[in-house]
Structure 1
Amino acid sequence: MIENENNKEKTIKKPKIKVNRKKMTRSLCILVVLFYIMRISWIHFWVNKYDKLIYPGVKVEGIKLNGKTKEEAVNTLKRNYVNEIFKKNIVIKVQDKSYTINYSKLNINYNIEDTVKDAFKYGKDKSTHDKYKAIRSSEEKNFSLKYKYDKKEIEETISKIQQQFDKKPVDAKITKNKDDDFKITSEKYGQEVDKDKLIKDIDEGISNKAIKDIVVNASLKKVQPSTKKSDLEKIDTKISSFTTNFSSSSDSRINNINISAKALDGTTIMPKGKFSFNNIVGERTEKKGYKAATIIVGDKLESGLGGGVCQVSSTLHNAVVRAGITPTERDHHNMPVSYVGLGMDATVDYGNIDYKFKNTLDYPIYIECVVKDKDITFNIFSNSKLTKKTYDLVNNVKTVSKAGKTICTVKAYKVTYVDGKEVSRQEINSDDYAK
């Protein structure tokens, strides 16, 4: 009996649970849609929130501007950057001295508004989804301010530094005493502020827009003299000479010859150096002692201040050519002169006509001018190696009649000799004179 009851219990089956798959699918779909709607709403919430705000991670000069409006960002930069930067100094150190320039004196102007506009636009040209990613990622983006500033204060400070530290070099000098011996004084080196490097270093310091002061060390560079003792020691002999006479001159003309001759005496010109008669002699004025004397104006004789100076320039011209140097600028009188041959004169008129040449020799030249016994003599000294060649100035004159006037057409030549034999003949000028 008991056994049968147990068997009966064993044969009882559990009821089956039926699952409504359609309902589950529908519920799942509803959940997905709800999640999607929530996510879209969430994305739009953040995107809309930052529609008028600067995105997270955006900085200008390292200052965080995330979540700020354009106006707030501008005010933040002015307060936390510009106002602080104006407390900054540029400190220029030169040896043991310092020179300070406050930023307020630079009139520096930063493009804050334009930079904030760029910072505000950052990320806003993307799709909604990418905007959201940019907002949530807070990826850093740093903008730099552009600036302009007035260099006047910097240039004035550098000018003060130059006045205190710049020293001009002193050239070696050569003089000739009464015993015809040369005496040479040594050169002295100068120094100057390396202005270009200093300005570059200051600009680089300003471009580093950190708040701390800019400290710049100015460099002093050595300035070599243009003439050194070792160069002048190469002058050891006379290489040319030329003399003209002014015995028929008036006292005023003699006076003018003496003044201009004294100005030229002792002139030294280095190789490739340039000579200008007017630059050395200067303007012929009463203040300098010049007097009125006969001068040639066109084809007439007139009285003018500094008459006689042209004899000095003409005498020098003849000595220079006989030293082997061809002038780079030389003009002639319209009428013949008595002290040199036709085509061999060199007229000068301050501000209008000059006599110039370039030292084309390999050695420096020393110009000596001696006025004695109504003679003026120019001696050109240089190196003895140059005496292997000698030079002369000769002319070729042709006379013709034009419009009832006698005209002399003249060609002048620099003739080169080696061991007394002519080796070349170079035409250096062609002139017309009215007799």
Structure 2
Amino acid sequence: MVESMDNNGKSAKKPKLKINKKKMARSLCILAVLIYIIRISWIHFWVNKYDKLIYPGVKVEGIKLSGKTNEEAVAALKRNYVNEIFKKNIVIKIEDKVYTINYSKLNINYNIEDTVKDAFKYGKDKGTINDKYKIIRSAKEKQFSLKYNYDKKEIEDTVSKIQQQFDKKPVDAKITKDKDDEFKITAEKDGQEVDKDKLIKDIDAGISNKAIKDVVVNASLKKVQPSAKKSDLQKIDTKISSFTTNFASSSDSRVNNINVAAKALDGTTIMPKEKFSFNSIVGERTEKRGYQAATVIVGDKLESGLGGGVCQVSSTLHNAVVRAGITPTERDHHNIPVSYVGLGMDATVDYGNIDYKFKNTLDYPIYIECIVKDKDITFNIYSNSKLNDKTYDLVNSVKTANKGNKTICTAKAYKVTYVDGKEVSRQEINSDDYVK
């Protein structure tokens, strides 16, 4: 008890303050419940508010979509992004030229609706109501990107146009023989070409960066080396093989055809690892090319056809090539024997059907010389003198057998290798059957 003095100097007792603990506890509980109800109501209010709206902080390609419905978000993206993006240009610079492609020509399609759906689902498709409220309150930025596809035709057409203006084919060094049998070599020239793969890649990278500003790309040129260089052709310094056949009994038209084909082949240069195709060089045997009708072998019969006699050219070349140490990669034989080479040593050709091919397996380029003189056709193969440590020959072995009413000759052909005049190897390169 607390005492105090009254006006008369007498002490008086103050009444003690009494606290009803039960009432206080009840009041606190009621207050807590009210706060909880208010908080829950507040959370429900915001979560319900954004139930049909996109959550705060959500952006698509930097465009704010917070508080928008699906339809409003789609409209905003079309208005503020897609319509602006179509004003963009792809600017290609190369040397002093500039090429421009407007985005409207690319027919770009963006997956706006699908992206907006994903943006709308953000925060709504998982978690409790409290989790959703936390996302709404935090307004943490969430970026979504548009996917796209576009028609590349306009870009490809523009790149093709650039290539046509800037690409320059290299010029190979060329070797010829003059009247004095001396080799003359003209130097090569480098070419150039647009680095197409890099250019297309850079353009695509620029488009994938979906900023509103123009895509500026610098196209580059790369040097193209010629396949034949003067320094390589200077290594041709000697004859490494030769072979001759005679066509004295040929008709005038057959002689003509031999001359036309021989002229096409004369001076052919083949670099190491390069492939040779008879038909590719000689071309189709047509009247326009100067060929005439002459006797040709069709199956096991003789008929008249354009280009008769060309097979003697290919057969003569074949014998010279093998004697240079090169084995053909594609070669076929006639069905009946021919008079100008031995069995198993011929090489028939028929444009579009049968070709004669080989790959230069030597370490040096070869030069093919074809001379037609006095009813003889001669192929000389020239290359480097270091190859003369070996020489080669083409020989055959023939066996004859009767089958039914026909005589069949089986001929095996061998490439024979000599070192210092002594045989060191014998390789079978073909086995052929002929009807005799």
TM-score between both structures, scaled by the size of structure 1: 0.97
**Structure 2: which 5+ residue stretches go unaligned?**
none
The alpha carbon displacement at 1:178 in A equals 1.2
For each residue in 1:319-342, what CA deviation from the matched residue of structure 2 results, as whole angstroms up to 9, or x when unmatched? 111111111111111111111111
Structure 1 residue 17: deviation in Å? Answer: 2.1
Aligned counterparts of 1:6 and 1:426: Cα–Cα separation in 2: 144
Give 1:53's aligned residue.
Answer: 53
Amino acid aligned to 1:42: W
1:354/1:10 CA distance change after superposition, 3 Å: same
Match of 1:385 in 2: 386
Q: What is the RMSD computed on CA atoms of the aligned residues?
A: 1.2
Q: Which residue of 2 aligns with 1:215?
A: 216
Counterpart of 1:242, as a letter, is F
User: For residues 170-227 of structure 1, what are the alpha-carbon distances to aligned partners after superposition, in whole Å with 9 as ceiling and x for unaligned?
Assistant: 1000001111000000110110111110111111111111100010000100001011
What secondary structure does 2:52 align onto?
A: coil
- Runs of 4+, deviation exceeding 4 Å: 5-8
1:427 alignment counterpart:
428
Against the structure 1 CA distance between its residues 30 and 179, is the aligned structure 2 distance closer, same or farther, given a 3 Å change threshold?
same
CA distance in 1, matches of 2:405, 2:7: 169
Rounded Cα–Cα distance in structure 2 between residues aligned with 1:7 and 1:89: 99
Q: How does 1:339-378 map to 2 (within 5 A)?
A: 339-378=340-379
**Residues 117-128 of structure 1 correspond to what in structure 2 (within 5 A)?**
117-124=117-124, 125-128=126-129
In 1, distance between residues paired with 2:409 and 2:136? 97
Residues in 2 aligned to 1:6 and 1:35: alpha-carbon distance in whole angstroms: 47
1:240 aligns with: 241
1:11 deviation in Å?
Answer: 3.0
- Answer with 396-405 or 181-190: which moved more: 396-405
State the one-letter code of the partner of 1:262: K
Distance 1:19 1:335 in 2: 133
Query: Which 10-residue stretch deviates more, 139-148 or 11-20?
Result: 11-20
- In the alignment, structure 1 segments of 5+ residues that lack a partner are none
Distance of 1:30 and 1:425 partners within structure 2: 112
SS in 2 for 1:50: helix
Which residue in the other structure is 1:172 paired with? 173
What is the deviation of 1:6? 8.4
**2: CA distance between counterparts of 1:319 and 1:257?**
16
Alignment of 1:106-145 (within 5 A): 106-124=106-124, 125-145=126-146
**Matched length:** 431
Distance 1:7 1:276, change over 3 A: closer
SS in 1 for 2:248: coil
Change (3 A) 1:254 1:10: same
What is the correspondence of 1:326-341 to structure 2 with a 5 Å cutoff? 326-341=327-342
- When normalised by structure 2's length, the TM-score is 0.97
Separation in structure 2 between the aligned mates of residue 15 and residue 416 of structure 1, nearest angstrom:
137
Instruction: Find the counterpart in structure 1 of residue 271 from structure 2.
Output: 270
One-letter code aligned to 2:240: I
Residue equivalent to 2:65: 65
More off after superposition, 121-130 vs 271-280 = 121-130
- Aligned residue type for 1:166: D
Q: What's the secondary structure of 2:261's corresponding residue? A: helix
**Partner SS state of residue 191, structure 1:** strand
Q: What letter corresponds to residue 114 of structure 1 in structure 2?
A: D
Corresponding letter in the other structure for 1:149: Y
Instruction: Please give the per-residue CA displacement for 1:291-322, whole angstroms capped at 9, x wherever unaligned.
Output: 11111111111111111111101111111111
**SS of the residue aligned with 1:362?**
coil
Question: Which one is further off, 150-159 or 20-29?
Answer: 20-29
Alpha-carbon deviations, 1:136-176, whole Å to 9, x = none?
A: 11111011111111101000000000000000001000001
Residue 81 (structure 2) aligns with: 81
